[in-house]
Structure 1
Amino acid sequence: MDLELRHLKIVRAVAEAGSVTKAATHLGLAQPALTAQLKRIERVLGGTLFDRDHTGARPTPLGELVLSRARVLLPAARELQEEAVRFANAGGEVPRYRVGATNGPILGGLVDRLATAWPSTPVTTRTSWSARELTTMIMSGVIDFALIGACGESQPPVDGPAVWLTVGSDPVFVMLNEDHPLAGRREVELGELAGEQWAVTPGDGCFGDCFAAACARAGFTPQTIYETDVATCVHLAKVGRAAVLCQATFQPSAGLAMVPISEAPLRWRHLLGWHPDAPIARVAPMVAGYAKAAHADAVRRSERYAAWLAGHPHFGTSP
């Protein structure tokens, strides 16, 4: 017997009900029939899935492993079925846009453009700090497109045949309290910030290593580095507790100043990815165009970056 989705549904039902008897009632089966089916499933999987006694059924360690996979596979299978029905009923047209993104300036503008161009087509979003997680979502069909960042020339996560297109390339600036002695400078040398504590948003790429290497070239080792969410980074900069590494498109609030770092030792590439064999791939050029337009808008909104960009034309939105 091969393991099937219906078997995972049985395992899940027993776990949720807390007993084989209650699960049988829920599934509309006789209790002896469900017990026999569960024993066959256990033989296929190589061990006991539940400890069963007069108080009910509790998952064994093997059962917990199977349940953790079932909680992913069953919703994904249901979503696939629903999407296939919508796709067929739409005559082969793309039924929706599902976009995942890490922290960046593009997602909002892209969603707005997609919703404007196709007001009757749903647009859904997911966010993650992990570019690798979003890549896995592309390959498993959970999302259609992913907007991620890559430090310098580093490659996106390799996980199957995902296609990646560079939307834009930005320098990393530093955000300081407006009363900081360097806040009014046109540019600041990285070495001038040697005495600062630092704050940065998390990620699973090489940015931390690249920052440490840039500091070493500037002759110092960075002090405390706070890895935290955007709001906390902004707060730490505003109270003068840390210098914040930020994308040049970031819009600082009152009390803050964003300053370019001389020679742009740190760079951030915005990438759009998708699965080349997915039906949605045929609209990828259009989506890429909208993503680039969203990035260009973010650049224009940042007066400091737009002014800096005039002397550094190799940065900015990709052609």
Structure 2
Amino acid sequence: MELELRHLKTIRAIAEAGSLTRAATVLGLAQPALSAQLRRIERALGGALFERGRHGVRTTALGELVLERTRIVLPAVSELQREAARFARSQGEGEGEGERLRLGGTHGPLLGALVDRLADAAPGTAVTTCASWSERELAEMLKEGRLDFALSGTCGSAPPPDSPHLAWELIAVDPVFVMLADGHRLAHGREIELAALADEQWACVPGDGCFADCFTAACARAGFTPRRMYETDTASCVHLVQVGRAVGLCRATFPPTPGLAIRPLTGTPLMWRHLLGWHPAGQRSGTAATVLAQAREAHAGAAARSDSYAYWLAERRSTPAGGLAPVTAPAAGSIPPGQGVG
């Protein structure tokens, strides 16, 4: 039997799981089938890789040698596959296939607005989209060459997803607002104290960053613990707010919606940073500059359509030496690997 990559993945799974039973579950195999496969691998390599015991398995000296090589080989092969996919795509574009852009994005109005702007700015480009609530999933798709650009974000000063391997540029920084039913007792105020919402239930779209922790911390500073959080899709969040079941959390660019009042929180306890990401080896600088510029224009358009955001901006621009930076992003400069966005 010749050793294959799948055999190395099997060895790694057994070592990480610490037992054949757990490894079989991870690999989706029956334990007898995994045991038989391991015996064939050990015969091919000339000796036992694991010692079996009452409490699981432990690697032998030969097993440690193989695992050490596996930790080098598997990531190298994965990176080779990603580089080959990016190279094949760039070669295809150079041979007249026509440029295409695969855009990913989390929930919010920017993805649709960016597609609309690119249709005018680059009419010969075929644009496809992929939406996900997971910032990490979008980052992984960029790394694997399955997306060209991703609209994502982080809360506060948290680092962007997988920043050591990906290029991230800041589009804009927004405050987090609240959505209230039109008939809510606080719906007609200019700004709302977070503490005034202590008895409410909450709704927001899920994510895998630190936003939930930051929200809980902001509530603690305001003197309360949130009663309940409904994490669901945007349409369901809007419905829960409209019928009075919850107060929603949203970015300030959330579009005007019938039945909703969108209001700033006093003191701006939560901020959201909009980011555009791509793999530096997979994009020409001119393409990245075009997409980034259009993403910033898309954000500016979304901000201009929000009366509550316009009020928020006007209040801070009229306050000398105070408030927060304008929402317009800096003109240039990638986020250094491993750092946040400001």
Give the structure-1-normalised TM-score: 0.73
Deviation at 1:140, TM superposition (A): 0.9
Unaligned runs of 5+ in 2: 7-36, 43-77, 318-324, 331-342
Q: Which residue does 1:89 correspond to in 2?
A: 95
Q: Output one character per residue of 1:205-228: Cα deviation in whole Å (capped at 9) or x when no partner.
A: 000000000000000000011011
Checking the alignment, whether the CA contact within 8 Å between 2:204 and 2:249 is kept in structure 1 is yes
Deviations 1:128-150 (A, max 9, x none): 11111111111111111110011
Report what 1:130 is aligned to.
Answer: 134
Q: Which moved more, 1:198-207 or 1:254-263?
A: 254-263
The answer (yes or no) to whether the contact 2:3–2:41 under 8 Å persists in 1 is no
- Residue 272 of structure 1, aligned match among 273, 276, 281: 276
CA distance in 2, matches of 1:82, 1:124: 18
1:182-235 deviations in whole A, cap 9, x for unaligned? 000011110000000000110000000000000000000000110111111100
Aligned counterparts of 1:229 and 1:167: Cα–Cα separation in 2: 23
Match for residue 214 of structure 1?
Answer: 218
| SS across alignment from 2:274 | strand
- Taking the aligned partners of 2:274 and 2:204, their CA distance within structure 1 comes to 17
**Conservation of the 8 A alpha-carbon contact between 1:2 and 1:44:** no
| CA distance in structure 2 between the partners assigned to 1:178 and 1:250 by the alignment | 16
Alpha-carbon spacing, 1:156–1:76, altered in 2? closer, same or farther (3 Å)? closer
TM-score in terms of structure 2 length: 0.69
In 2, the alpha carbon distance for the partners of 1:100 and 1:258 equals 26
User: In the alignment, which of 84, 99, 106 is matched to residue 102 of structure 1?
Assistant: 106
- Pairing 1:204–2:208 present: yes
**Corresponding residue SS for 2:316:** coil
In 2, are the aligned partners of 1:201 and 1:227 still within 8 Å (CA)?
yes
Contact 1:171 1:315 in 2 (8 A): no
Correspondent of 1:318 among 329, 333, 336: 329
SS in 1 for 2:280: coil
Give, as a single letter, the amino acid of the residue that structure 2 aligns with 1:140.
Answer: E
Is the Cα contact below 8 Å between 2:154 and 2:209 reproduced in 1? Answer: yes
Q: Which deviates more, 275-284 or 290-299? A: 275-284
Q: Does the 8 Å contact 2:148/2:283 carry over to 1?
A: no
Return the match for 1:192 from 193, 196, 204. Answer: 196
Q: 1:177 to 1:77 in 2, by over 3 A?
A: same
Tell me the distance in 2 between the aligned counterparts of 1:114 and 1:251: 20
Alignment-derived partner of residue 233 in structure 1: 237
Equivalenced residues, count: 256
Paired amino acid for 2:307: E
Any idea what SS the aligned residue of 1:156 has? coil
Does the 8 Å CA contact 1:144/1:280 hold for their aligned counterparts?
no
Counterpart Cα distance in 2 of 1:205 and 1:111: 25
The one-letter code matched in structure 1 to 2:217 is A
Alignment partner, residue 120 of structure 1? 124
User: Distance in 2 between the 1:266 and 1:184 partners?
Assistant: 21
In the aligned structure 2, how far is the partner of 1:269 from the partner of 1:213?
Answer: 18
Distance 1:144 1:256, change over 3 A: same
Mapped to 1, the partners of 2:40 and 2:94 lie a distance apart of: 35
Query: C-alpha displacement at 1:312, in angstroms?
Result: 2.6
Task: Give distance in 1, aligned partners of 2:176 and 2:302.
Answer: 14
Q: Secondary structure at 1:126's aligned position in 2?
A: strand
Cα 1:279–1:242 shift into 2, 3 Å: closer
Q: Distance in 1 between matches of 2:185 and 2:115?
A: 39
Percent of aligned pairs with the same amino acid: 50
Q: Could you say what secondary structure the match of 1:155 adopts?
A: coil
Q: What's the secondary structure of 1:188's corresponding residue?
A: coil
Which residue number in structure 2 is paired with residue 150 of structure 1?
154
Q: Counterpart of 2:92 in structure 1: which amino acid? A: R
Contact 2:109 2:255 (8 Å CA) reproduced: no
**Counterpart secondary structure, 1:312:** helix
Residue 295 of structure 2, aligned match among 291, 294, 300: 291
Q: 1:269 to 1:80 in 2, by over 3 A?
A: closer
Aligned to 1:23: none
Change in Cα spacing, 1:209 to 1:296, as seen in structure 2 (3 Å) is same
Cα distance, 1:318 vs structure 2: 1.1
Q: What is the CA–CA distance in structure 2 between the aligned matches of 1:3 and 1:154, rounded to whole Å?
A: 40
1:245 aligned partner, one-letter code: L
State the alpha-carbon separation in 2 of the partners of residues 208 and 244 from structure 1: 13
